Amino acid sequence: MKMLTAFTYELDDVELAVAEIKEQLNLKQNLRKNAVGILSCYAEFVDTGVVDALCRALPFEVVGSTTLGNATNGGCGMLMLSLTVLTDDHLRFATTHTASLLENPQQAMDEAYHAAVARLPGRPSLILAYFPFIQDMGGELLLECLRRATGEVPIYGTVACDHNLDYREAYTLNNGEGFRSSLSMALIYGSISPTFLVASIPKEGIQKQAAVITASCGNLVKTVNNLPVEQYLLTLGLSAGNGFAGISAIPFVLDYSSGTRPAARVIYMLNGEGEAVCGGEMPEGATLAISSLDHDNVIHTAQQMTETILKVGAQSGALLFSCLSRNMALKTRMEAELSIFMQRLAGVPFAVSYSGGECCPIQEEGGGLVNRIHNFTLTACIF
């Protein structure tokens, strides 16, 4: 498989944006028999029509999502669109998007997946998934619905995000259209064995004093230590100003108290009922501990990830997602992490985007892969 990358900063001149992407891809020379496009962009590229025009100008299907910022070979930034093309003579690709997931997510995923599989010779080897940000449906719930629809196919992807505190312009993308409540995905059929990597927050930053979730529903936390969430957050010394703005930059480590590996969880915001909207399932009885993530942690894990990618040896390239909270930890140096990938992976086709939740398989003790939604992580899918 071959991986091509291209980018543009052109938001307003649609024709110029499309021309820049096509020139960089040089499809006449580089395109093989089958292909799929993966698009990541600032939300305004959807509104100005660049996304739609670009997808209409390409001879293959395209999926993706909006992001806070991204990087690829030769370019990085917050106001950027990147397009990655996976192309091969033997692999087969099919894209789809679900109906709105607000009412019956399981049915919507079942129908979309089976319609896409019908266009392939058989069951896919890998799914690239782009989940919508839905306040009262955490990424884990949506991933579980997709797992039931697809079986145990490895799933790599992201939860859509944008530059707003409430993610109101976070879109999933499929063939030029943007969706607020639909899942988009690309199915890959054939002989492909990617390597998956996950880098999380450092263990030494986790505080020993833990609190117990005493009331929750899915990804919504109502009380901690029998206190309303707002009061619990105040006991941690956090400021209630502007609805605890910036809380998504603070890692909370969730211990299921069941022997399962602890997981970092993000609190996106407090909703109108005062409940904490979290990045995954928050079961009652689990314990929470506050942790820390700073500039040095982010830079160090990014450097380690690039070293691992080069050591593993990406034959075709690498797709990466970095939690948007990692970007917040960089404060004014917003492009510092993206720049590391540009510098260190200059000889490897790559695409990295900020994520509202990272979907990446992890290795079980028995050796198999299990699909997981992560927060505060840097993930990679290496081909």
- Has residue 366 got a pLDDT over 90? no
d(CA 247, CA 2): 40
The fraction of the chain above a pLDDT of 90, given in percent, is 73
What are 318-344's pLDDT values in tens digits?
A: 999 999 999 988 988 999 999 999 999
Q: Tell me how many helices (H) and strands (E) the chain has.
A: 11, 26
> What average pLDDT does this structure show over 38-42?
99
Q: What is the CA radius of gyration of the chain?
A: 20
d(CA 129, CA 320): 13
In 3D space, the residue among 121, 79, 80, 94 whose CA is nearest the CA of residue 36 turns out to be: 94
Query: What pLDDT is recorded for position 237?
Result: 80
What are 131-174's pLDDT values in tens digits?
A: 999 988 888 899 999 999 999 899 999 999 999 988 999 999 99
For the chain, what is the mean pLDDT?
A: 93
What are 243-260's pLDDT values in tens digits?
A: 566 687 788 888 877 666
**H helical segments located in 164-226:** none
192 burial level (CB within 10 Å; 0-12, 13-18, 19+): middle
What are 254-305's pLDDT values in tens digits?
A: 887 766 677 888 888 888 888 998 888 899 999 988 887 889 999 999 999 9
Q: Where are the domains of the chain?
A: 2-199+297-382, 203-290
